[in-house]
């Protein structure tokens, strides 16, 4: 059979190129060549901040020369990244010096906000990321910087919005966070509720005041933001038992919001809510709410709860059956679970058996008659 030499040449060249690319990438990773420009900038900022601004006794970090240098250099996003890298080390190693330094730089950072507002969206996102990690406000006062950050929200990307909320929460002013969420809400801008919840959870100011204002404005929020508010309250407070119970029973709220209310009671036990949770299981009109209620009932052990969960094991919806078995395994002791395994309902035996195996309970128990029969039916001697 004749072979075309050109095929071998093409394959050989291809292999050589692949090897060359692998060697190149290895060199970049091993020797750090890809970070060389950044490393050079970091080294320069390290010298400037440690020797000129931070370490030398009596050296005023707020001196005009230093602030002019910051304004000139930090208008470049690469320099801002290198500056942030060094500043992070100073923040960790010299917290008092960092605090004094950052206060004196407030006017400069505010001017940088105006500069970056005229730059690309990517560069603006870099600036908001910087403010998020290095807030320039002490005592959580409401200053012009927060208004400037809020003005960036319209037309911003998802990443930029997340950084803006992070920055406002780091600054710690309640009204600025509320105002920012109103802009996001009124402009119908997207922000994942879990991401927003995480940002709110790191609020640096008075969280009790923030949760109160966010809840009081609840009728104005869209479902996404309202779910975030409920999740935020769930993380930090147990003072909304009665308010949430009233809201949970209101059909005016959608499934996502009511599910968030139920999850609150899965974290904070409140006995008056138990009949309401049971109703979601006994008469399941919404699968999601039924699943959330079943999960929350882990905190509400009672004969009624166990009965409702056992009945749910026969539901026509597999999600409900699965959730009910999970909660039963969490609530019942071994003898009660083993009694279920010896019942007549084969499906209940199988799903409870599966859940027990997941928790490695059966490994320490005597083989059950049901399992013995199954093994013997397969020709295995037990």
What pLDDT, in 10s, does the model give residues 173-218?
A: 899 999 999 999 999 998 999 999 999 999 988 999 999 999 998 8
pLDDT in tens, 243-255: 999 999 988 899 9
Rounded Cα distance, 381 and 54, in Å = 77
Note the pLDDT of residue 54.
Answer: 53
Burial 325-346 (b: 16+ CB within 10 A, else e): bbbbbebbeeeebbebbeeeee
pTM as predicted: 0.78
Note the pLDDT of residue 238.
Answer: 92
Rounded Cα distance, 50 and 166, in Å = 27
Q: How many residues does the chain have?
A: 382
Tokens of 107: 């006017």
pLDDT in tens, 139-184: 545 568 888 999 999 888 899 999 999 999 998 889 999 999 999 9
Q: What is the pLDDT along the chain (382 residues), one digit of tens a residue?
A: 455 677 778 878 888 888 888 877 766 555 544 455 677 888 888 888 876 555 444 555 547 888 888 899 999 998 999 999 888 888 888 888 888 888 778 888 889 999 999 999 999 999 999 999 888 655 545 568 888 999 999 888 899 999 999 999 998 889 999 999 999 999 999 899 999 999 999 998 899 999 999 999 888 899 999 999 999 999 999 999 999 999 999 888 999 999 999 999 999 999 999 999 999 998 888 899 999 999 999 999 999 999 999 888 888 888 898 899 889 888 888 777 777 777 666 767 777 777 777 666 444 544 544 444 444 443 433 3
Note the pLDDT of residue 359.
Answer: 62
Q: Does residue 211 come out as left (phi exceeding 0), alpha (psi in the -120 to 50 range) or beta?
A: alpha
């Amino acid at each position: 059979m004749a072979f075309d030499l050109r095929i071998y040449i093409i394959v050989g060249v291809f292999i050589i190129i692949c090897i060359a690319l692998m060697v190149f990438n290895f060199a970049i990773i091993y020797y750090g060549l890809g970070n060389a420009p950044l490393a050079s900038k970091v080294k320069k900022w390290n010298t400037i901040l440690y020797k000129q601004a931070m370490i030398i006794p009596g050296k005023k970090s707020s001196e005009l020369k230093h602030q002019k240098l910051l304004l000139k250099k930090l208008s470049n996003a690469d320099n801002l990244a290198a500056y942030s890298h060094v500043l992070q080390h100073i923040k960790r190693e010299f917290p008092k010096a960092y605090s004094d330094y950052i206060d004196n730089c407030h006017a400069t950072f505010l001017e940088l906000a105006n500069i970056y507002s005229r730059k690309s969206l990517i560069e603006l996102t870099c600036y908001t990321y910087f403010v998020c990690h290095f807030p320039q406000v002490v005592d959580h006062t409401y200053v012009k910087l927060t208004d400037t950050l809020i003005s960036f929200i319209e037309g911003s990307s998802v990443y930029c919005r997340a950084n803006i909320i992070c920055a406002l929460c780091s600054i710690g002013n309640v009204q600025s966070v509320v105002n920012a969420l109103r802009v996001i809400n009124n402009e119908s801008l997207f922000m994942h509720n879990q991401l927003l919840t995480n940002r709110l959870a790191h609020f640096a100011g008075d969280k009790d005041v923030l949760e109160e204002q966010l809840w009081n404005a609840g009728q104005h929020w869209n479902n996404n933001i309202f779910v975030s508010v409920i999740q935020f309250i769930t993380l930090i407070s147990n003072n909304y038992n009665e308010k949430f119970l009233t809201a949970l029973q209101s059909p005016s709220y959608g499934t996502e919001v009511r599910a968030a209310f139920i999850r609150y009671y899965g974290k904070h036990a409140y006995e008056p809510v138990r009949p309401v949770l049971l109703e979601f299981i006994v008469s399941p009109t919404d699968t999601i709410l039924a699943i959330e209620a079943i999960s929350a009932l882990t905190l509400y052990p009672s004969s009624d709860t166990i009965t409702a969960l056992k009945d749910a094991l026969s539901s026509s919806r597999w999600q409900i059956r699965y959730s009910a078995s999970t909660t039963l395994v969490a609530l019942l002791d071994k003898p009660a679970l083993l009694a279920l395994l010896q019942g007549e309902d084969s499906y209940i035996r199988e799903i409870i058996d599966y859940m027990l195996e997941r928790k490695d309970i059966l490994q320490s128990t005597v083989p059950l008659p049901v399992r013995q029969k199954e093994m013997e039916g397969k020709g295995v001697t037990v």
